[in-house]
Amino acid sequence: MNYDGVNLNINQLYESFLKAKKSIGICNEADKAKILVSGEMALQLINHFSIMKVDDKICTNFYTILLKKKKFISEVLVTRLSLYRYLVITNEPKKVMRLFKRKKRKYPLATIRNVTNEYAIFSFHGDNANNFFRDIDYRYIYKTKQQNYTYYQLICPKREQAITYRHFLKMNFIPISLEHKRLFLYNNNVVLNIDKIPKRYRLSVCSELYPNNILRYNVKAIKVVTYELKGNHLVTNKHKVYSYLRKKAGIIHCIYKLPNKNNPYIMAFVKRDKEKKVSLVKVGKQDAIIRPILNYQ
């Protein structure tokens, strides 16, 4: 694993994660593409595909999911730069650009442009981040919420990226990589790789992650639950979760480990009426015991 030109093994990754968690970590979001949607119809164009209805009077920074009918496109962060200028931040720039451009005729007063090389984004994570940023009145520092995880972001011109980064390092912020950030997301039960969720579950999970949505489709009542896996079992996302009556209750999305935790964790999508009954994963002829985790503290 490469981080600032240095290869980190898993123990070093965990050690630096814990150090940042006790302080404030700064992550350069270099993997994110930025699409500028501007003009009087900019918000209408975004709202056409967003599962969350955005109000221009109260929203300045928000996560949402873009859909083309029932097809998942991307989970995006939308940041309002000014009255008619919105920055759409995504890991799927080609899909999002194509989506917006194909609807341009309906919204002629909206302009779409890829501005990835014009802006830089930093995110801040850790136990002390809220205390540091909550009283800072700066236009381009945003408090944002991705699913159930709240953190801060800073947007700056690309030409000021290096000097901005050095500024925070001089203030003893801890530099963290995208892999560190992923640990923060997992530590707060954020569902990643939504596009990899089986289609029969995908819309239901989107509805669960963003409950105030405007989806017009019937979806299953699904709960996103994290479990601790007991024992030494090789579990993958091909396995299913079962109730204590050995009835199928849901599917596994991913398995991961967190620092200072002995056992791996399973993120699963479970039918709501069976959530309290889930207790095991079938691994061959063996039963792997799992227990729900409410938090990691």
Which of 187, 212, 242 represents a domain boundary (last residue)?
Answer: 187
Give pLDDT tens digits for 207-229.
Answer: 999 988 888 888 989 999 999 99
pLDDT at 152: 96
User: How far, CA to CA in Å, does 235 sit from each of 28, 95, 228, 252, 293?
Assistant: 33, 33, 12, 9, 17
pLDDT at 2: 45
Would you give the DSSP letter of residue 196?
G
- What is the mean predicted confidence (pLDDT) over 260-266? 90
Domain membership of residue 21 (yes or no) is yes
In this structure, the number of other CB atoms found within 10 A of the CB of residue 43 comes to: 22
- What is the mean predicted confidence (pLDDT) over 6-31? 88
User: The tokens of 146 are what?
Assistant: 């991705």
User: How far, CA to CA in Å, does 174 sit from each of 22, 26, 136?
Assistant: 10, 6, 19
pLDDT for residue 88 is more than 70: yes
pLDDT for residue 3 is more than 60: no
Check whether residue 249 and residue 145 sit in a common domain: no
pLDDT at 295: 58
- What is the mean predicted confidence (pLDDT) over 44-70? 87
pLDDT for residue 128 is more than 60: yes
Check whether residue 179 and residue 240 sit in a common domain: no
pLDDT for residue 297 is more than 70: no
Check whether residue 166 and residue 237 sit in a common domain: no
pLDDT band at 254 (very low <50, low <70, confident <90, very high): very high
pLDDT band at 117 (very low <50, low <70, confident <90, very high): very high
pLDDT band at 56 (very low <50, low <70, confident <90, very high): low
pLDDT band at 1 (very low <50, low <70, confident <90, very high): very low
In this structure, the number of other CB atoms found within 10 A of the CB of residue 194 comes to: 15
Mean pLDDT of all residues belonging to the chain:
91
pLDDT at 251: 96
* Domain that includes residue 9, residue range: 2-187
Q: Which amino acid is at 42?
A: A
Which of 164, 187, 210 represents a domain boundary (last residue)?
Answer: 187
Check whether residue 114 and residue 259 sit in a common domain: no
Contact assessment for residue 269 and residue 248, using Cβ atoms and an 8 Å cutoff: no
Check whether residue 14 and residue 159 sit in a common domain: yes
Bridge partners, residue 291, by sequence: 228
Domain membership of residue 200 (yes or no) is no
Check whether residue 45 and residue 163 sit in a common domain: yes
CA angle centred on 148, ends 144 and 150, rounded to 5°: 30
* pTM for the whole structure: 0.90
Among residues of the chain, what percentage have pLDDT more than 90?
76
